[in-house]
Amino acid sequence: MTISDTDLLLIIDVQNDFCPGGALAVEDGDSVLPVINRLIGKFKNIVITQDWHPIDHSSFTSNHEGQSPFSVVTMPYGEQTLWPDHCIQGTHGAEFHKDLITYPASLIIRKGMNPAIDSYSAFFENDRSTGTGLGGYLRERNIKRIICTGLAFDFCVFYSAEDSVKEQFETVVVTDACRAIDMDGTAQQATDAMKSAGITLLGSDEL
């Protein structure tokens, strides 16, 4: 695949809390770093997302008495997985991994800041209607294709890629630049759903 000036590299949530030793660590999560850093040099356009939760966020298990991590509750906007407290604003866990190259990015999207609504996607919060402004930003810059990387493959990468297609961007997910949480088969479910949505899945050696 040839990279052009209308392509954008989207780096999703490569933060300390999603890497080994973090509060919501994705297994082998830090192994995406050398792959993503290699890709950065190929792109003129780069956007990074950052989970950035207030401490009273409604998706945290600690804010739901009697619930266990990874259980599912019903919110006004639908079903919501409850997570261990993670990526709390201003903490070490919310910072980007120290080895991630961030300076070439033109934009950092902070998401999950509304305590009442979780936000997996780079484009929309989990109510599926409150936008982050990313779609408009990219259209203003004539971006046509989005190449998705980061953590976690079966949640924030998946939702971002799915919304990218809905926003009329050609969408690619670089599989070896992602790692999955994989709760009860969510990695395979995400793979199947992305293929059905017309999202291209490929390895970094194909870029």
pLDDT per residue as tens digits for the range 42-81: 999 999 999 999 999 999 999 999 999 999 999 999 999 9
pLDDT on residue 52? 98
Architecture of 7-206 per CATH?
A: 3-Layer(aba) Sandwich (3.40)
Of the candidates 17, 87, 111, 148, the residue annotated as catalytic is 111
What span, in angstroms and rounded, lies between the C-alpha atoms of 159 and 121? 5
Q: How confident is the model at residue 170 (pLDDT cuts 50, 70, 90)?
A: very high
3-state helix, strand, coil in the chain (%, to 5): 25, 25, 45
Is residue 87 annotated as a catalytic residue, yes or no? no
Is residue 98 annotated as a catalytic residue, yes or no? no
Is residue 44 annotated as a catalytic residue, yes or no? no
Q: How confident is the model at residue 39 (pLDDT cuts 50, 70, 90)?
A: very high
Of the candidates 87, 156, 163, 178, the residue annotated as catalytic is 156
Handedness of CA 70, 116, 18, 37 (dihedral sign): positive
What span, in angstroms and rounded, lies between the C-alpha atoms of 34 and 179? 13
- Quick: pLDDT tens for 128-158: 999 999 999 999 999 999 999 999 999 999 9
pLDDT on residue 28? 97
Of the candidates 13, 30, 118, 163, the residue annotated as catalytic is 13
- What dihedral angle (degrees, nearest 10) is formed by the CA atoms of 129, 133, 134, 139? 110
- Average pLDDT of span 2-12: 97
Stated pTM of the model: 0.96
Q: Which amino acid is at 161?
A: A
Handedness of CA 66, 69, 72, 74 (dihedral sign): positive
Q: How confident is the model at residue 180 (pLDDT cuts 50, 70, 90)?
A: very high
pLDDT on residue 163? 97
CB atoms within 10 A of CB 188: 12
Q: Give CA angle at 178 (172, 181), nearest 5°.
A: 125
| Mean pLDDT score across all residues of the chain | 96
- Average pLDDT of span 72-97: 96
